[in-house]
Structure 1
């Protein structure tokens, strides 16, 4: 097969950032209309490879060597004008975070129209019509009206659809999707992956999918290329690689993937006293006709040594519930008791801590991680600096961090290490209860496994009660004793994790479980066919700003 018969031809690609080699001698091809996944942990170099296909390293200071051809264009040797024609016209990219990729000041339709005008030279009127057309094509209901909406008025899934519409506006031959579903809940993730499948079938475009989630790759591509430390460690058909991996790293990657059908080991002994009890909790935002009920009549208990998983789609109320449990939000109605004492108002609740989803934004970038971990100690009145520093070092060691890194800053740590910092800070106050709000959603599967194993170990050692809020049902099954399934602010199913997962009663729970990615490509294709055969669901509403 000649070079021009391939849509993508990469030969000996290396990318250096200063003294760091991010990509090392990577080679692969992608036929027209085919789909390939680049799979690996954070830092494996997969996103760097994807960016090289569109020449995005140009003028960044990176040193790029090797050959990259996309749609017949020599990317590494192309002029700036040739690269502009390549981007959007021949190849387009969809990024992980649609909110940061869209301009908050302009209507979504105007942004899509501008891209189309830039590449096609069409009139404003024709470009606006094209924007409405592609928004409708990606499943945005009432596209003409919603094209006038700004990004903050769209939900996360709608924003990702809008980015895909922008990529499709100029009918590219290649779509590069860089972690397009990482921040989405399972049902929206399934919708986006189904959409990419349908668009490939309709347009014949090729797909390069970058993901750390092997389950996402299983149902979406023909071939897989596994990367580690910038190099390719295994490649082949998706069925062959996932069913019979040859390399130890690929086996390790697959073993770290949480399974929705896994059964958690039975606990030994009885659980302890009730740590937190909620009865009839309700939380409203706004007043009058504009009031929005985020949590509605929720009751639950959590005991010492127990983990309660809280699952549901974005907007289900699970994060609002978690914030009420730690005192960051005051319930509009209902009762909340901690260790038997009634909680009133807002403010720090003794013995209760929270681990947040994004450790970057929850840590002060201008303060060392050691000082951040020390904050709860000083807040409770500790004044002996030598004792504080010793306690922080002990906590860092306990969560798997080097105590010698006390004076380092958050940007000097990986995502998984920053989450360990957040856990150490939560432990500093010797809590009875820790509420974990999506603590592993931004982490790759091996780092997820390390963090969840750490939480389980700490729980056994300290007898902690945990509330684990997440949209990833497989992770929740792995870590939880009981689970509460939330929808539109209410708990629709509540019970032991094995009962709820193995014999779900509520149709919503069944839909959530059916949307979890399957590692078996044949099963993934079967589930996708079943979803696509259903009548269209009600149009997705505009997000509440």
Structure 2
């Protein structure tokens, strides 16, 4: 009998009980008749694509839809409190006291003007009648508990002085301040690289072991769920598709949708497929991308030698990229991986011409090169919200001197259709598209310049696995048809293996290892590469537990 759905002797064992929950926003039914139970100390993962309703469920557990105009039905009980019927005072005691939430973006959850420790102390004083001194001491204690080094000193730091992983730890510390029975984590590792992600997941596991904390983990990453929970509830269109022990759901799914979801997950231990079809790698065979004889050397379309990039001057100078050399050939994909701060994005921006190297050379050189284009990580910030997507795609055409508006509109319509959208979408604005559709717009804009090379900077990091697979397949199709070379910059090692011919591993501005993708992944030589690969989430819960044990031993060695 499962730990989440098991019958219990009494309500004291049930931490969360959701019965026939519905949440509507006007004509949209975001959650439709969802029911589940979570016992004290257990961990449940809500897994699904963007728009499946999983974050809406998480908000409903804390009554966050109250006053928003949402139509909420059914029953929600958390830590003995009927959320639907609770008074504002009772909800105040629930939020932070009995149950706490950790959000995806810590920067939007932390006040940039106040020290981290002061913010945690303030939360603690809301629920515990203690002095300021005691609250400050509690803040330092929980920061230390979540692994912030020199917690007393760092508690005086502001959010911008913390790395992304440290900010997420600070949010977890804030959630733990009042010793809640339930922690709701909404995509807590989405923006983090694999090693920091592993640290956060290990931290959540340790906290559960030490405190008996119940965990509701909301994620689109099936691997993250496998690392962290006892059971999985797969959601689609607001409904439960499949629900059961994590090993059963991931090892032997019964529903077609669950199988499709798992099939879209890139595997770091799987060699690239080389047959025709959607599973084919991004790179194209030379016979498909070049008219040259197979014995001829592949054409070099981009070459960088001794690249260096510094920011600041004097004693405050920071070297982001240090003596990097690489070549990119027609029709191939070069993957560049590394943690946040490794210099990979700075390198990509230099290859496109958005940043000028402090030293070194890029051939062909000279400014922003139309033959090298970029697809950015966040299409929302790279598209002007006040201009139609058609006008944004048209910019490279106008920059090349095209003045005939009829030809411009016709070419943009062709590009929109080429990336799987509709030509009639020309006059729509970015907010009218989903994340995956906006990324397709970004790809269309890059193609408008007829490039030979496209630098993709974390192009799928913010997308769920099925949308991610669709964008990757689109890039592969375009590459095969147009002979494009791709430089694929990402922190997701599984995606990079899926798409790359060659891989370069970056650390602290330098390339520490590079070579054919399968060689680097199957037989890594540099200790840093081995560390990165060991941190990748495993879909097998038993393997995940083994890796967690190894990481724990290394941390205490």
Shorter-chain TM range is over 0.9
Would you say 1:104 and 2:130 are equivalent positions?
no
Residue 532 of structure 2 is aligned with which of 488, 512, 535? 512
Give the Cα separation in 2 of the matches to 1:410 and 1:518. 35
Residue 276 of structure 1 is aligned with which of 297, 302, 308? 302
- Checking the alignment, whether the CA contact within 8 Å between 2:54 and 2:238 is kept in structure 1 is yes
**Deviation of residue 403 (structure 1)?**
1.2
Residue 129 of structure 1 is aligned with which of 118, 124, 137? 137
The aligned residue for residue 219 of structure 1 is 227
**Deviation of residue 218 (structure 1)?**
0.6
**Deviation of residue 534 (structure 1)?**
1.4
Q: Unaligned 5+ residue runs, structure 2?
A: 1-7, 275-283, 287-293
Residue 87 of structure 1 is aligned with which of 86, 92, 95? 95
Give the Cα separation in 2 of the matches to 1:519 and 1:5. 29
Residue 32 of structure 2 is aligned with which of 24, 30, 35? 24
SS at match of 1:158: helix
The aligned residue for residue 4 of structure 2 is none
The aligned residue for residue 279 of structure 2 is none
The aligned residue for residue 3 of structure 2 is none
The aligned residue for residue 540 of structure 1 is none
The aligned residue for residue 144 of structure 1 is 152
SS at match of 1:294: strand
- Checking the alignment, whether the CA contact within 8 Å between 1:42 and 1:444 is kept in structure 2 is yes
The aligned residue for residue 189 of structure 2 is 181
Give the Cα separation in 1 of the matches to 2:427 and 2:236. 30
**Deviation of residue 350 (structure 1)?**
2.6
SS at match of 1:276: strand
SS at match of 1:455: helix
The aligned residue for residue 51 of structure 1 is 59
**Deviation of residue 536 (structure 1)?**
4.7
Give the Cα separation in 2 of the matches to 1:304 and 1:519. 35
1:113-262 equivalent positions in 2, closer than 5 A: 113-262=121-270
Give the Cα separation in 2 of the matches to 1:265 and 1:53. 42
**Deviation of residue 7 (structure 1)?**
0.2
Q: For this pair of structures, how many residues does the alignment match?
A: 531
Give the Cα separation in 1 of the matches to 2:112 and 2:257. 41
SS at match of 1:88: coil
Give a deviation string over 1:128-166, Cα, whole Å, max 9, x none.
000000000000000000000000000000000000000
The aligned residue for residue 314 of structure 1 is 340
Give the Cα separation in 1 of the matches to 2:211 and 2:359. 52
- Checking the alignment, whether the CA contact within 8 Å between 1:3 and 1:9 is kept in structure 2 is no
Give the Cα separation in 2 of the matches to 1:69 and 1:84. 15
Give a deviation string over 1:83-104, Cα, whole Å, max 9, x none.
0000000000000001111110
1:130-529 equivalent positions in 2, closer than 5 A: 130-266=138-274, 267-269=284-286, 270=294, 272-338=298-364, 343-344=365-366, 347-529=367-549
Give a deviation string over 1:74-126, Cα, whole Å, max 9, x none.
00111111100000000000000011111100001110000001111211110
Output the TM-score relative to the length of structure 2.
Answer: 0.94
**Deviation of residue 401 (structure 1)?**
0.4
- Checking the alignment, whether the CA contact within 8 Å between 1:284 and 1:291 is kept in structure 2 is yes
**Deviation of residue 261 (structure 1)?**
1.4
Q: Unaligned 5+ residue runs, structure 1?
A: 538-545
Give the Cα separation in 1 of the matches to 2:127 and 2:432. 40
- Checking the alignment, whether the CA contact within 8 Å between 1:434 and 1:466 is kept in structure 2 is yes
**Deviation of residue 483 (structure 1)?**
0.4
Q: CA RMSD in A?
A: 1.0
Output the TM-score relative to the length of structure 1.
Answer: 0.96
Give the Cα separation in 1 of the matches to 2:250 and 2:551. 23
SS at match of 1:128: helix
Give a deviation string over 1:438-464, Cα, whole Å, max 9, x none.
000000000000000000100000011
SS at match of 1:58: coil
- Checking the alignment, whether the CA contact within 8 Å between 2:285 and 2:331 is kept in structure 1 is no
- Checking the alignment, whether the CA contact within 8 Å between 1:227 and 1:234 is kept in structure 2 is yes
